[in-house]
Amino acid sequence: RWFDRYVGGKTSMAFGKPVAISPESWKGQPVRFAGVPKVVTRRIVFAAKTGFGQSGKLQRTLPPLARPTEVFGSPVVQVSANATGGWSRIVAVLSARTPAGKEIVVAGGGVPATAGKRTYRIVLGNQATFLPKGSKLTLTVASSSLAQNPGNLLYLDLPFPSTARLEVTGGLLRLPQLATPVSR
């Protein structure tokens, strides 16, 4: 409403449905809701027993999506890990490869790490991202977003000591999505 009134130039516009979401392919009108739309959270557990240094990574690719999905909110990655030798951060990037071969970065995030075995909760960026049916989600856990793709400059590869290592022993991805996607 604020944008409609102060940016759009309309001085008194009342909406019966104040929450608006713009579809991925804009058709001139947002989809409106009386309140925050229903979100369902998909919970994906992944096994891991992977250790790596600064240039390494843990990557898990999920089976193709059975239907179109609209990620809505902040995906959360939880990893059980042992940081040693000066490992100081953990970065997670969730990306998707569409059936047409296009790569989409869904969200990324990072947290500081401390020496020893811990469980880390990484809240990824909050956004809406449409993924067509058949897309494959890939989760990358590393020291920077460059491990997911050298062009992904969100979390740069700052130097670690040569002794730095991270051992990931398991994880969980919580993926919030609209119960009914607004994009097609």
Note whether 173 and 75 are within 8 A (CB): yes
Q: Is the pTM of this model over 0.85?
A: yes
Residue 5 is encoded by which pair of tokens? Answer: 């009134």
pLDDT tens digits for 88-105?
999 999 999 999 999 999
What contacts 29, CB < 8 A, 6 or more positions away? Answer: none
Taking alpha carbons only, the member of 95, 97, 113, 114 closest to residue 105 is 95
Question: Does position 19 have pLDDT exceeding 60, yes or no?
Answer: yes
Confidence band, pLDDT 50/70/90 cuts, at residue 12: low
| pLDDT attached to residue 8 | 65
Give percent of the chain with pLDDT exceeding 70: 92
Residue with more model confidence, 14 or 149: 149
